[in-house]
Amino acid sequence: MQKLHNGSCHCGAVRFTCDLDLAAGTSKCNCSVCRKGRFWKAIVPVEAFTLVRGADALTDYRFGDGKIGHCFCRHCGVKPFGHAKIEGYGEFYAVNVACLDDASDAELAETPVRCEDGRNNDWNTLLTATRHL
């Protein structure tokens, strides 16, 4: 069920809302930045995401082909979301599920998680060993 969620970084300088259905699934991947940061994402269409405050607190980090903006709070270092426009996928936000302030522990425990092979840019192959992600 679609639900409007409120999210933030750790210090609260960055706040956002997004309309998403956690039961529709989330993902983790093994690319270098997601693996090191243990980033757990839910994909949100641009029209379902609103940055409420903190644009001035965000730092954008890009690597590889630079298509994905990894947005970090420059005060606390937390990555509340990423932003991308990728051919074949369109424009979207990748919201850090751990930054959803109003998602209960029970709701998060029931949320389906796909573990994808981002290291090899093979997003359709699901990983079998996932405990480290």
Query: How confident is the model at residue 121, as a pLDDT?
Result: 80
Does 132 map to a domain? Answer: no
- pLDDT of 30: 86
Identify the CATH number of the domain in which residue 86 sits.
2.170.150.70
Partnered with residue 53 across adjacent β-strands are 15
Pairing of strands 113-117, 90-96: unpaired
Domain that holds residue 73: 3-126
pLDDT of residue 118: 83
Task: State residue 45's pLDDT score.
Answer: 96
> What total of structural domains would you count in the chain?
1
Per-10-residue mean pLDDT for the chain, 133 residues long? 96 98 92 88 97 98 88 97 90 97 95 88 78 73
Residues 29, 115 contacting (CB under 8 angstroms): yes
Rounded CA-CA distance 45/62 in Å is 20
Residues 6+ apart with CB under 8 A from 8: 14, 15, 16, 80, 99, 101
Per-residue confidence (pLDDT) for residue 127, from 0 to 100: 78
In a domain, 133, yes or no: no
Is 29 domain-assigned? yes
**How do beta strands 41-45 and 15-20 pair?**
unpaired
State how far the Cα of 45 lies from the Cα of 130, in Å rounded to an integer.
Answer: 26
